[in-house]
A and B are shown apart, each in its own frame.
Chain A
Amino acid sequence: MGNTLIEISNVSKVYGSDGAQTHALRGVGFEIHEGEFVAIIGQSGSGKSTLMNIIGFLDTVTTGHYKFKGQNVTTFTDDQLAHIRNKEIGFVFQSFNLLPRTTSLDNVRMPLVYAGVPDAEQIERAQDVLKMVGLEHRMGHMPNQLSGGQQQRVAIARALINKPSLILADEPTGNLDSESGKEVMKIFDKLNKDGHTVILVTHEKNIAAHAKRVIEVLDGKIVRDEKNGHKIIV
């Protein structure tokens, strides 16, 4: 098992002001190590999206601590969070989130624009990752010229381009037919085999089955944390 990547301890998230408070997370804690393939499952409203947002530095905790690679990120500012998102996280979204009227190549290299990489290198690296997901012949295509599966592969290429420590996928097959969904999951399997840390957020059992570890969230609490069928005690 690799080094500890994520260390979440006693994290709570409360939305709203005093009058109408919503407790999205109530004292959640776990660790994720480098090279793991984790599925976070739960029904909608369970708090799994909030958990994903916090792991992905899109949101901050109300109470508790979050350490990433041993660094306490709990008190990071917006711009610090933007920086760490850019460097460490590769997002894959349910609805792909590709920019319309923009070529695959330009979509894929977007994180590098914000990383301060020179143009020539941006293009070179974008070509490399597009090749990796098997879309070297679709580099100049616009999203509306691609199938759903292809669009999600472009999005995965975009997630990979800045060599993130963690790939965070939110219902990556939710908008795909089963055939394309299988294809996309194959890519995640391969990425994990190559050593990438992958966190999947899903409510589909068969998708979660690809992961080696399953964390189930219910009503803002972790109700199950199993690795290869064995319970993990935090």
Chain B
Amino acid sequence: MYDFVQSFKLAFSSLLKNKVRAFLTSLGIMIGIASVIMVVSIGSGAQSLILNQIKSIGSNLISILPGGRVENGPPAAVLGVTITTLDLDDFDAISDPANVPNAVGVSPYVKGNATMSYNGDAIDSFFNGVSYMFPEVEDIKISDGRFFTEMEQDGMQKVAVIGSQVAEDLFNGTDPIGQNIKIKRESFQVIGVIEPRGVTAFQNRDDQVYIPVTVAQKIMLGINYVNLIRVKVDSDENIERTIYDIEQTLRVTHNIRDPKDDDFMVESLDTAVEMLTIITDVLKFFLAAIAAVSLIIGGIGIMNIMLISVTERTREIGLRKALGAKRRRILEQFLFESIVVTLVGGFAGIVLGSVISTLVALIARSAGYDWDLVISFQAIIVAFAVSCFVGIVFGYYPAQKAAKLNPIEALRHE
């Protein structure tokens, strides 16, 4: 133990005599560790952003997509094929409490892009055809006016509920309620404004306009199908059951006997969140693995410097041996030197990585993103362990070389 402490002191004091070099050597490890921690933390933050965004659409949501499950390949929609197997009859069937008793809101979705104008001001944005139950389905609040009614939907009234951004862009602070805006060439009466829902990474949900799905289908787009139907379930426990109810209902309306022939897909949001979690986890660890490569490079840097140091200090090593240092003591001294360098670098890297991760989270939050600051304790432990490992592995060879030196030749070294 005495020897160990003494070797450690020697290592420490000779590092102090070469502060700049010790710092530069530890820099590689510091950057390596910092980048592992940063990548893991920023990865987790981005992951939380994506997942929070999906969750913010609302919990207890079930999505019904057109087209059946394709076992070996991507869904048809990815390939640009429009599938028209869902329509308003399906919406009516699902809305019927006799078929799906736990649904508290159902809305079909169709979407189109158009120029919208009022009084000479024009913007380019999206109009969404939805049902009168849309506010319940997506948990949105109307800040001004009201949403459209079932009667307006069935009567194909050209009424529009606009996002807060649209209200600002087109009306510049004047009251939009009761005014008429033009979407494409059709005139719509504005009956409500939606409370701001915030900017998310994927889309600005405040610059959209919501109109009755019937109007969107027949007047704006000239189609009979819908892109998607969403169902809000009354509680968590009823999600599984409601998925089953919806499947049964649609099989009846679509005349399907065998579930294999389903021309629709029913998925809860949880499934989507699960899938995305898996995908983003894979990405996160992949990035961390790339960052870890820099640790190895840092380790090689340490080995390099230590080898140079051994050559440079050959006389010192010879002298120490002449004065009675056994091999082990020389080995310990040089090994401790590289371990101290890596530990200091590792510690600095942990601090640096955490600080940068925190800054990124603060900046993201101040920009309005729903970003969780996650500094993984696990990543820190792993980073610490790796830096010890790197110090020992890459310090061993130079230390061994020093320990093996012949004292006579070492003393003669110029």
Contacts and interface: CB of A to CB of B under 8 A. Distances in A.
Do A and B form a real pair? yes
B324 A86 contact: yes
Contact of A58 (B2, B320, B408): B408
Most B-side CB within 10 Å, residue of A79, A83, A106: A79
Interface string B320-350: 1111111111000000000000000000000
Contacts of B411: 58, 93, 97
B322 A58 contact: yes
B6 A82 contact: no
Contact of A111 (B6, B17, B323): B323
Contacts of A59: 408
A146 interface: no
Q: Is the interface of A mostly helix, strand, loop or mixed?
A: helix
Given A53-B408, A58-B407, A97-B411, A111 B324 contact: yes
B2 A91 contact: no
B326 A79 contact: yes
Contact of B329 (A53, A93, A114, A158): A114
Contact of B2 (A86, A93, A99, A116): A116
Contacts of B6: 113
A148 B17 CA distance: 22
A97 B319 contact: yes
A102 B14 CA distance: 9
Interface of B: 2-3, 6, 10, 13, 17, 315-316, 319-329, 407-408, 411
Most A-side CB within 10 Å, residue of B3, B322, B324, B407: B324
Interface in A99-116: 99, 101-102, 106, 110-111, 113-116
Contacts of B10: 113
The 4 closest A-B pairs by CB, nearest first: A86-B324, A114-B324, A101-B17, A82-B326
A26 interface: no
Q: How big is the A interface, by class? A: 20 to 34
A78 B17 contact: no
Contacts of B320: 110, 114
A203 interface: no
A98 to B, nearest CB: 9
A158 B320 CA distance: 12
Given A53-B408, A82-B327, A102-B13, 20 more contacts: A82-B324, A82-B325, A82-B326, A85-B324, A86-B325, A87-B324, A91-B323, A97-B315, A106-B13, A110-B323, A111-B324, A113-B6, A113-B10, A114-B320, A114-B324, A114-B325, A116-B2, A116-B3, A158-B323, A162-B324
Nearest to B322: A91
B2 A85 contact: no
Contacts of B315: 97
Interface in A133-160: 158
A59 to B, nearest CB: 6
Contacts of B325: 82, 86, 114
